[in-house]
Copies of this chain bind each other. A is one copy, B any other.
Amino acid sequence: MLRLTKKADYGLMALKYLAEHPDSVSVSAKDIADTYGIPPQLLAKVLQRLTKVGLLRSHAGMNGGYELSREARRISAFEVIHAIDGPLFITSCTKGSKSCDLEPNCTIKEPLARVNESIAGVLKSISIYDLVDAETAAGRSAEMLVTLMHS
What residues of chain A have their CB less than 8 Å away from a CB belonging to chain B? 1-6, 8-9, 12-13, 16, 35-38, 77, 81-82, 84-94, 101-102, 105-108, 110-112, 114-116, 118-119, 122-123, 126, 130-131, 134, 137-138, 141-142, 145-146, 149-150
Contact = CB atoms under 8 A, between A and B. Distances in A.
A3 B150 CA distance: 25
Given A142-B150, A149-B146, A111 B130 contact: yes
Nearest to A122: B118
A31 B141 CA distance: 43
Contacts of A105: 35-37
Nearest to A132: B107
B115 A122 contact: yes
Contact of A3 (B89, B101, B122): B89
B106 A5 contact: no
Contact of A9 (B12, B108, B130, B141): B108
Given A4-B1, A85-B1, A108-B9, A123 B134 contact: no
Given A111-B126, A115-B126, 15 more contacts: A1-B81, A1-B87, A2-B2, A2-B88, A3-B89, A8-B92, A9-B106, A16-B107, A37-B102, A77-B112, A77-B115, A107-B134, A114-B137, A142-B150, A146-B146
